[in-house]
A and B are shown apart, each in its own frame.
Chain A
Amino acid sequence: MPKLNLTRREFLKVSGASLFLAGLPLPGFTKDKPPGTISVIMLEGGMDGLTAVPPFGDPNLLKMRKGLTPDNYLKLNSFFGLHPSFQYFSGLMAKNNASIVHATNFPYTARSHFEGQNLMQGGGLSPFSETSGWLGRSLELAELPGRSLSLDMPLVLRGTDRNDNFYPASIRGSSSLKTKLIDMISMFHSKEGSSVFKKVSKKSTQKDSIVPRDPASLAKYAGKAMSQEGGPLSSVIKVTQFDTHSNQGADEFGKHGKLLKLVDEIIAGYREGLGDAWDNSIILTLTEFGRTVKENGTWGTEHGYGSAGLLAGGAITKSRVISKWPGLAENEQFEKRDLMSTIDYRSVCAACIEKSLGLDHDLIADKVFFTPELPRVYDYIFS
């Protein structure tokens, strides 16, 4: 049994992140290997796209959010900058292995975390309409049995019966799992409980391994697992606490900046773990909404609409900032408070699924996002 020995303070720091791996082909499975792997970093709480990727070319940026914009941003082009927390990501941009989509979101404007998170994971037409997630449905469509690595099963990965998960426990006084015992328990449960215990049983035949729980190590572990022959085809990492209503900060030492640094470390962890499999990989961020354009009264921001998405991986061969910039002037904002979203982020997810799992766009639009007319943005990202 691995012993993690986390002190209280360390645990508080890392408890916000969890890792999920999915899409593990079963031995003897005959379908051709899909073209690549897809990984999702969920940024829970609402990432501030205007802080992460400041559009310094917009004259209203500094007028409205001086206290939230880093002075030392990295310059991407004549209009967009990159937060100084993204040191590693900026290197990937320079190597043409990363891109940004800006002024984008899922089509959801009611500003509730929980409805928004449900939509960004479920990919349904309205909050709580789906009991499965867009990635789970995609894996199911690609006929790829799955395996996930986590304590709970995030909605985004649900939707395929063939998922299971793995996340090493640290419970003193318990001995290793006994397959026969678990199989017997499984037999006495109805299908619902039984199918879950079967997954535990399968796990009991594998060796425990020690996985530190900080997000960068999780990403490295996930990348390594995905790089192996027969490894998972998909993984999900969740980072929480982006909901910075107060004292948001501007630079890499502020509340939001520290979280962006974590995202940067996760991407670096993936890169290291993936090794040669990097070339066929795509990693994308998800967040439920952006934040208000104007700073609020407590040096933070409220729930908004449009945000930015970060894409990285060897599947990208030309770095770009993909945006139809709506402007930040009050009459250009959504409801005079938020960055407008001009690109439906479901299209970005669809392009990443198309690239990594080899599914046809029309099929994804129809069966994964229930929106046959969903625009195809593949060429903007991958050509």
Chain B
Amino acid sequence: MSERLIDLHVLRYNPETDTEPHWQQYAVPYNEEWVVLDALNYVKAHLDPTLAYRWSCHMAVCGSCGMMVNGEPTLSCKSFIRDLPGTIRVEALAHFPIERDLVTVVEDFMAKLARVKPYLIAKEPRTVEQGEYRQTPAQLERYHQYSQCINCMLCYAACPEYGLIPKFIGPAAIALAHRYNQDSRDGGREARQQEVATDEGVWECTFVGACSEVCPKHVDPAAALQQVKIASTLDWFREHSMPWLSK
């Protein structure tokens, strides 16, 4: 009985031994329950221990295993090989420098996350003894979707603007800023707008919407970007047309 095989092509790059990335082919058994990550783990365990990639949870929540699968930004732990053609091409996430094989350099993303002040800046500070803030289910709903981001960076790999203009803060970081801006407990929008409502921020976005299409958690960063644009336009009007409304 001949075993069905899949053709797995992986873009390899080791900065110590390679001058440029090159494709390597592996024949991996077909298993209809497997995701692409399982195929990579098979390679690592049985065919080639030198293959490098990041992964941990295998349940689409740790955000480690984002990569390009047949040209699409994808969580490899959620991409079933049964849904893919017999030849699968896997490469490092686009728009990020390759550190090695499927491992990218992500410092730029980490720095951008930190820049948008993604933490609660309390509108009315409270001590622990005063107990929790009240927040109704409706108030929770206003930001809940934007709190679901797993930092997998697929949206950066999908975003044509980030590809062209690396200083663009990008979808996930802006969505995260918006998440805190929309939180009824927060009073930090002004501080965040200085980072977000700039030409490195939302005004760089041309609303292609690719970020929301690839998001595995339905965060819809494109919607967050549009809402930030609208809010900062209103800010501008307040300041320029109706100065008596500003504080």
Do A and B share a complex?
Answer: no
